[in-house]
Structure 1
Amino acid sequence: MWTSWSGNVRFTPERVFTPSDEAGLQQVIQDAHARGGTVRVVGSRHSCSDVYVTYDTLVSMERLSGLVRADTDACTAAFLPGTTVEQAGTALMPHDLAMENMGHIDQQTLAGAISTGTHGAGKRLPNLSAQLIGVRLVDGTGTIRVFDEDNHPDTMQALRVSLGALGVFTEVTLRLLPQYRLVRKQYRASLHDCLIHLHDLMDTHRNFLFYWYPRRDDVTVRTWDEDDRDVPDLPFGELYKTARGYAKDVLPSEQELRFNELEYSVSLEDAVACFLDIRARIKAKHRKDVGWRVLFRPVRGDDSWLSNSYGKPAVVAITIHQNATLPYQPYFDDIETIFRAYGGRPHWGKKHSLRAADLRTLYPKWDAFQQLRSQLDPEGVLLNDHLKTLFTDDE
């Protein structure tokens, strides 16, 4: 039985393959295509959605890991898809390169993080998929294809956040930055002060987020800035933790406790109102059952067709959590109604209840994505039941 990191997803596939090269992966997909079967791919299992669940053929990327090549002058590097974000950061150090941004967790595979729109925090920083400038993949017919942003700009906009529905990545090329160091500061502050200064915080700091625990009245504010910048401490709150180091070491944070998540991205203009509605609902109905934080992270917009920040200057990703050992569905269902009232878009790797008819109204390039999917996977070899509810219910 395969189990997700949080333990909420459990399934037993009929077949499991761990190919060590592209040819082996290609053969698995060709065989599934020939017999009318399906294939899904699993990375680090950090998603708490059913995006990788299959009762047919599961492909693990654990043997397709490592740096393929790096170009320090061009600030690019190519990786095998099963390389984790942490491994990528370490491999880039000798080449004096670094990823532009990272999320809270660095154990996801690059292919999984890119394909689900994983992001960090920062109004001027897009999600990880925006760093993807080229890809090799095996499509749903078992054909190897190569795309890059110079020659296939529209296709790349679709591929960057594609949930593995357009093909299985075998190599990803990323646009990077020269290696850099950051200082991370953590403050305790009142919610009132945080919201009063919110736009200054988002504009001043390279990375910024805050979170609120339902059984507390204050919030935690976290900022990151280049170590060579003279950024003063916040004019409010109590500074209680500081860390300095290379970006790969101070952008992520340790996650010892396991949890399930619901996350939607809403427009920058609606973010505070949405957060306050969620806070009020939790205090009124869920405070005795929920102790985990509500996280508020700005993210720069992008042009990836299924990105939850598509077509906007910036969005705010608001995330609610529940301990992995406790019931979460009634809580998530209730808060999801608030997200939907604000026109929010769900994180593809986290829990949500939206189906194809709901999603089409949220993504202007939805039909274009479906058209490309029909070309790259005409028989639906790369779909599981979960993706069918996302992509085919209204066809």
Structure 2
Amino acid sequence: MERFVNWSGSLAFDAERLRQPTSEQEVIDIVHEALDRGGSVRPVGSGHSSTPLAETGDTLISFGRMAGLVGADKSNGRATLLPGTGLAEAGSALAEHGLAMENLGDVDYQSLAGAMGTGTHGTGRELGNLSSTLVGGTLVTGTGAVVRFGEQADSAQGQTLLRAAQLALGALGVLTSLTLRVQPAFDLHRQNWMTHIDWVLGHFEELSQTCRHVDFYWYPRSDRAQVRVLTLPGDEPAISPPGYLKKDERGPSYEVIPNFRDLKFDEMEYMLPLEHGLEAFRRVRERVKDRHRDKVGWRVLVRTVAPDDAMLSNIRQPTMTIALLQNASLDHEPYFRDMEALFLDWGGRPHWGKKHYRTAPDLRRMYPDWDAFLTLREKCDPEGVFLNDYLTEIFGLQGAP
């Protein structure tokens, strides 16, 4: 048995076996072995997800030995990487070819396939999530077949499969190569200001429209905020918030965007229409101060993301995301459940890799391509090799293989 514990410590399970393939053929063999005995397989990345997407009592497959850059084409703005490549590793490998990913999330210790599979995102009104940069690749399905999609496929079906594979929760199969849209390497200038939340709310709209990246933390117990502004050197805004400059650094984008996290936390994040985002945050602020301030140990993170067209994308329109962070040592469920009701009132959709309490009927109403995705899932995995209890529940597939 292999004991698995996720990053925050909120999820633990015992898998019968752990497989760490080194090649696509080994992945195929693992799937065929599961098919032969009527078993199941679940992929896992770095374990940063807070939802039980990887949970299995059968075979857990990790891609740490399938990592690295396969090829890069600077003239075409494309790079192909293996699924277990860490985001930090991808950044340094691309930099050697004068390239960079368009954006990164708040941390860079996730694996590439895991980040894509759950819709990991950073911040920036003109910048989509990481999944939106996936333009092609290969997938080993639940039948053991190798399927090419996106730019690696010749048919229209390949483009349809791309929209499903960009954010698939590991439900179609496992990605064995990923081709990304990349751009020439670039530097960024980060400035983190400590100030009052009222100053941030009064200036956020302007900052988010003029700066490449802007987000902010709100600290409920002090009502202070940390606004984080990242721009191309020379494009810095002329601001001087009341408070002080906490961080001021320049460097390659892949080094400057991510933040170091040593404290473990659980998280709920909802994607809300950008046009209502700041008003929704104000309601969040009121509710936290009224009901939860004495129990909230950490902070609330606000970001923006550009829309994309993946079937299960929770960012199909200009979006503001609001994330609740709670220390892993403290109870999070009463806080998250109460706040989720508010997010739903504002038309929110949950982040796939973070805590939420939505079930299949709720999710089907949120996603217009829901049934199309499930049709493709069944075609790719007719025996349910890649299903687990959690996916069966959220997809409403009780009674499936």
Q: TM tier, shorter chain?
A: over 0.9
SS in 2 for 1:188: strand
Kindly provide the amino acid, as one letter, of the partner of residue 160 in structure 1: Q
CA distance in 2, matches of 1:253, 1:319: 16
Counterpart residue number, 1:343 = 347
TM superposition shift of 1:153 = 2.0
Residue in 1 aligned with 2:67? 65
Structure 1 partner of 2:236:
231
Matched position secondary structure for 2:96? helix
Judge conservation of contact 2:297–2:330 (CA < 8 Å) in 1: no
**1:282 aligned to which of 285, 288, 297:** 288
Q: Whole-Å Cα distance in 1 between the matches of residues 235 and 17 of structure 2?
A: 55
Q: What does residue 383 of structure 1 align with? A: 387
2:44 paired residue among 38, 42, 59: 42
Q: Alpha-carbon deviation of 1:235?
A: 4.8
- In 2, Cα distance between the equivalents of 1:257 and 1:235? 30
Q: Is the 8 A contact 1:185 1:224 kept in 2?
A: yes
- Partner in structure 2 of residue 147 of structure 1: 149
CA separation in 2, counterparts of 1:98 and 1:62?
Answer: 21
State the Cα distance separating 1:188 from its structure 2 match: 2.0
Q: How does 1:232-251 map to 2 (within 5 A)?
A: 232-238=237-243, 239-251=245-257
- 1:271 is the counterpart of 2:273: no
TM-score (norm 2): 0.95
Equivalent positions of 1:91-110 (< 5 A) are: 91-110=93-112
Offset at residue 264 of structure 1 (A): 0.6
For 1:320-349, what per-residue CA distance to the aligned partner results, in whole angstroms no more than 9, with x for missing partners? 011111111111111111111112111111
Gaps of 5+ in 1: none
- 1:394–1:233: structure 2 CA closer, same or farther, 3 Å change rule? farther
Distance in 2 between residues matched to 1:15 and 1:394, nearest whole Å: 25
Residues in 2 aligned to 1:31 and 1:171: alpha-carbon distance in whole angstroms:
21
Q: What is the aligned partner in structure 1 of residue 18 from structure 2?
A: 16
Q: Does residue 1:28 correspond to 2:30, yes or no?
A: yes
In 2, Cα distance between the equivalents of 1:369 and 1:232? 42
Cα offset, 1:226, TM superposition: 0.7
Q: 2:202 aligns with which of 196, 201, 204?
A: 196
Tell whether 2:367 aligns with 1:372. Answer: no
2:321 equivalent to 1:317:
yes
1:328 is aligned with what amino acid? H
The residue that corresponds to 1:353 in the other structure is 357
Matches within 5 A, 1:111-122: 111-122=113-124
Partner of 1:85: 87
Quote how far apart the aligned CAs of 1:232 are.
3.0
The root-mean-square deviation of aligned C-alpha atoms, in Å, is 1.3
Code of the aligned partner of 2:229: T
Give the Cα–Cα distance (whole angstroms) in 2 for the partners of residues 237 and 61 of structure 1: 47
Distance 1:147 1:303 in 2: 15
Cα separation, 1, equivalents of 2:209 and 2:110? 28
Secondary structure at the residue paired with 2:329?
coil
Residue 138 of structure 1: aligned partner = 140
1:51 to 50, 53, 57: 53
Structure 2 CA distance, aligned partners of 1:236 and 1:327? 34
Deviation at 1:201, TM superposition (A): 1.1
| 1:187/1:221 contact within 8 Å kept | yes
CA distance in 1, matches of 2:68, 2:235: 36
Question: Mind listing any 5+ residue stretches in structure 2 that lack a counterpart?
Answer: none
Distance 2:343 2:397 in 1: 22
Aligned-pair identity in percent equals 45
Q: Is 1:184 matched up with 2:190?
A: yes
Q: Are residue 252 (structure 1) and residue 250 (structure 2) matched?
A: no
Contact persistence 2:187–2:232 (CA under 8 A): yes
Question: After TM superposition, where is structure 1 displaced by more than 6 Å over at least 4 residues in a row?
Answer: none
In the TM superposition, residue 305 of structure 1 has moved relative to its aligned partner by: 1.2
Shift of 1:60: 1.1
Q: Could you tell me which amino acid in structure 2 is paired with residue 358 of structure 1?
A: D
